[in-house]
């Protein structure tokens, strides 16, 4: 049975009837454009075929009750009196808070959620959960589904309610993902362009099986360093610094700030170039840009880790691998490789063996398809609005 069927069956068991609504929202992998989102820059992620699902029906008492199959417990919220709690229920509470704060009148609901996005791996299980919750509220409350606006509110939930200072990439791609495409997102205007994966390639996600507690503080430190660099250049964000301006004027910056800024300025360029390579179907060029992105994240932005470097190094040496890099915030989690589709299986076997030998750890591998963004799966949207 698929996860979708499991979630629907669990709902039917608990409530004695099939769910009125079924929604899903995907996790993501970022092909290139790392740490650029909070610099108002460009990112090029794709939504992946791993999702959070919610099966639900409306309630008329302003309450939300959500059973998590993963945590085997139920969370209860009162929409008129949202309070902070702990753990996973903070996400639905935060999304309810952000939607209401923006002036949306929310109805209550009850349901079941399940998720096959690996947790804490840097594949945006939190954004998938937030978007699935938002999609559920939209279904029962009859809200218009404006994907970028909802993504912004979910980011706000994470920043202000959950307390994680993330950028907009993860929520955006979970909202606007397109089957078979990556999406070039301008994180300032939220303009999006779907770009096809080069023909004959596959995207392989390589989970180093390492998780670092350090991520939050280091992430905030990088943000502060980028803001400091933008101030030094006299611009609102590093997005506004061209490579030429950087080369001309960066000598005045302190060495660390300069390296952080260099990563962002050139990563933005690489991301735009990667989108152009994808439009042209140039897999070699895309792969080379991914390799360059990793080197910059490792040496200038310093957010890689020993295991990520070993993994990327192992991947890049294998025939059929066009490019590889760490993906997401860094310090652990996943790398992403672009490989020739015919070689995907043999690549996966080799990289698993080589990484195990080098790092002394097992990895998990996901060969991912690019998937669509958050959606109401049942009933279909057209039929839900008479």
Residues that bind ligand GLA (CB under 6 A): 34-35, 37-38, 166-167, 169-170, 328-329
Single out the residue of 316, 266, 309 nearest to residue 291, CA to CA.
316
Instruction: Answer whether 377's CB lies under 8 Å from 55's CB.
Output: no
325 strand-pairing partners: 336
Single out the residue of 385, 316, 372, 382 nearest to residue 175, CA to CA.
372
**What count of other Cβ atoms lies within 10 Å of the Cβ of residue 151?**
27
Helices assigned H by DSSP within 236-334 = 243-249, 255-279, 283-299, 306-317
Nearer to ligand GLA, 45 or 111 (CB): 45
Question: What are the tokens at 103?
Answer: 């002036």
DSSP reduced 3-state for 56: strand
Question: What are the tokens at 273?
Answer: 């170039």
Nearer to ligand GLA, 186 or 345 (CB): 186
Nearer to ligand GLA, 152 or 350 (CB): 152
Nearer to ligand GLA, 166 or 314 (CB): 166
DSSP 178: B
Instruction: Answer whether 36's CB lies under 8 Å from 271's CB.
Output: yes
Sequential DSSP letters for 205-243:
EEE-S---TTHHHHHHHHHHHHHHHHHHHTSSSGGG--H
Nearer to ligand GLA, 68 or 125 (CB): 125
As measured in angstroms, the least distance from the Cβ of 346 to ligand GLA is 30
Question: What are the tokens at 64?
Answer: 């939300």
Residues recognised as catalytic = 170
Nearer to ligand GLA, 117 or 169 (CB): 169
As measured in angstroms, the least distance from the Cβ of 33 to ligand GLA is 7
366 strand-pairing partners: 205
**What count of other Cβ atoms lies within 10 Å of the Cβ of residue 103?**
6
Q: Is the dihedral of CA 160, 39, 187, 115 positive or negative?
A: negative
């Amino acid at each position: 049975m698929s996860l979708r069927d499991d979630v629907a069956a669990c709902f039917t068991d608990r409530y004695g009837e099939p769910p009125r609504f079924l929604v899903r929202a995907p996790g993501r992998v970022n092909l290139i454009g790392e740490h650029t989102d909070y610099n108002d820059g460009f990112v090029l992620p794709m939504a992946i075929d791993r999702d959070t699902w919610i099966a639900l029906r409306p309630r008329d008492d302003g309450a939300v009750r959500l059973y998590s199959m993963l945590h085997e417990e139920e969370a209860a919220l009162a929409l008129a009196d949202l309070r902070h709690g702990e753990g996973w229920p903070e996400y639905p509470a935060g999304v309810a808070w952000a939607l209401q704060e923006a002036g949306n009148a929310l109805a209550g609901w009850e349901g079941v959620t399940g998720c096959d996005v690996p947790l804490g791996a840097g594949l945006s299980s939190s954004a998938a959960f937030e978007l699935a919750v938002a999609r559920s509220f939209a279904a029962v409350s009859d809200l218009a589904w404006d994907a970028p606006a909802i993504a912004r509110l979910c980011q706000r939930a994470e920043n202000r309610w959950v307390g994680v200072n993330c950028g907009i990439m993860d929520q955006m791609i979970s909202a606007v993902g397109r089957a078979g495409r990556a999406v070039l997102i301008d994180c300032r205007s939220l303009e999006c362009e779907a770009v096809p994966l080069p023909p004959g390639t596959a995207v392989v996600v390589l989970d180093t099986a390492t998780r670092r507690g350090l991520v939050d503080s280091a992430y905030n430190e990088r943000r502060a360093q980028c803001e400091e660099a933008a101030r030094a250049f006299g611009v609102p964000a590093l997005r506004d610094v061209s490579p030429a301006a950087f080369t001309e004027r960066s000598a005045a910056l302190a060495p660390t700030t300069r390296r952080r800024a260099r990563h962002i300025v050139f990563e933005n360029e690489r991301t735009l170039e990667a989108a152009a390579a994808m439009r042209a179907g140039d897999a070699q060029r895309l792969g080379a840009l991914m390799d360059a992105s990793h080197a910059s994240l490792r040496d200038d932005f310093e957010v890689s880790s020993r295991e990520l470097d070993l993994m990327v190094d192992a991947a890049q040496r294998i025939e059929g691998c066009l490019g590889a890099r760490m993906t997401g915030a860094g310090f652990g989690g996943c790398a992403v490789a672009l490989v020739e589709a015919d070689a995907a299986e043999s690549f996966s076997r080799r990289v698993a063996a080589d990484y195990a030998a080098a790092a002394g750890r097992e990895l998990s591998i996901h060969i991912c398809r690019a998937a669509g963004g958050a959606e109401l799966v049942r009933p279909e949207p057209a039929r839900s609005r008479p």
